[in-house]
Structure 1
């Protein structure tokens, strides 16, 4: 429910990294790859470990999803009555600090950093019976009340539903004054153009989470999205074979990013060794290219494999 502090996240990730590398307080192991790179997805060249921060962000976003989906539960109407129908997500609450304002502040922060935009959650209008015309995300790049603010304030009821204004295949309006004014008339014309393709059916309106392929919120897919936005990419991404053992896949991945403990790599990382020459041929530096591709013994091995 709470946004985890950066210092806490850093300590938790340090514990995870130490476990992976087999380190403890008395025995520090050599770290071959940055933990950020390990957490990245397979498509970005990582090991798809995932970050705790993405998990925390996903759980916070889940509260926004539940507020709209579980509107008949006991807590959702209470939150809506205190902070507004959108739960205070779009507008900063003036009610001071609370558990819920911490959640909405985190959601707006993710929007400002373009991690999870507010429009990720929007309404798909079908019959218009549960979608608020002005206040819900259902058409365009923002709520109509934000894009056509003056028109929204000229309406006699800003809480009306889409079906209340779409009657017999055309839009019906109820303004607080007869003349809208030249500027508002131009805005009204723009809005009507945007609404010209809207048509209503018989099915119920649904909330849609654009990150997920099926439109339904899932913590796992949201974690993957957040990690893909925040974590770095390694080049190139490796193809993972499900047939061979996982440890073989990991070894091949380390080969691809040149992080195997060859004598050359150990020397580069400050480990004092007597020689960096290959112990087999003694004529070349023991690098991963020499071991796997260029060595004399390697050539014989690949020749027998090809046969």
Structure 2
């Protein structure tokens, strides 16, 4: 949205450059040449070679060999089209071969072209009406910056929102793991996992493939009496969850337990990296069981007690 609003000011600056604030900006910072010269025009002031006056790429990039022969590089469309022949302003007649072929192609593309009787104007190409809109800019920015997600993320209320956001970031690989930080150009002393110190720290490794994460998931699988998964990514975890022969409510509970485990794994990692003392792995699984019971029971409004939760979680009465 911020980028879209910035585009809005640029659009106003270019389309209404006679306003008071536009004249003030020019007086303080000079002309607007740094904003580019891509104007949709009708030939009065638009450059024949450099501007996208025809709604296409500039002619000097389409026909570079003909542009090299032009003696007046900044000739506008009106002056060029007023010539009896497009080759009059060239320093010599195009030779046979590629030059002649490109010249004929350019000439044929302008057959029947007529200049409308209106001044040059700025045209917003992101919308069909040619008028600026914040929605068109925001969609354009989102399409180019946001990652492509091919499956929807379910925002469960079984755990706190902070835990759900963590799971969402794991899915999109948005967490500041050492590998992601190094990709952004940060100079870090190591990209190895601080827990096992054997493999590169990525989201897939930290929450699925790391030895500590694998042990926790195996303990959860034994606790819930399901087959232990062999997964290395969020997508594989989703497939494993969908393959379990559990009711929808029990799958929701198990999902809350897994989310809780991820929350404790990430906190354990942060304490290991930034804390003054090393955290203990011995109580990690017990903490996951206790905290998941509190969150799932009270946030999910299920009726089961602590003993049932410890014995056979997938058979608790709800």
* TM bracket (short chain): 0.3 to 0.5
Relative to its length, the structure with more helix (as a share) is: 2
Normalising by the residue count of structure 2, what TM-score does the alignment of the two structures yield?
Answer: 0.44
| Bigger Rg, which one | 2
Normalising by the residue count of structure 1, what TM-score does the alignment of the two structures yield?
Answer: 0.45
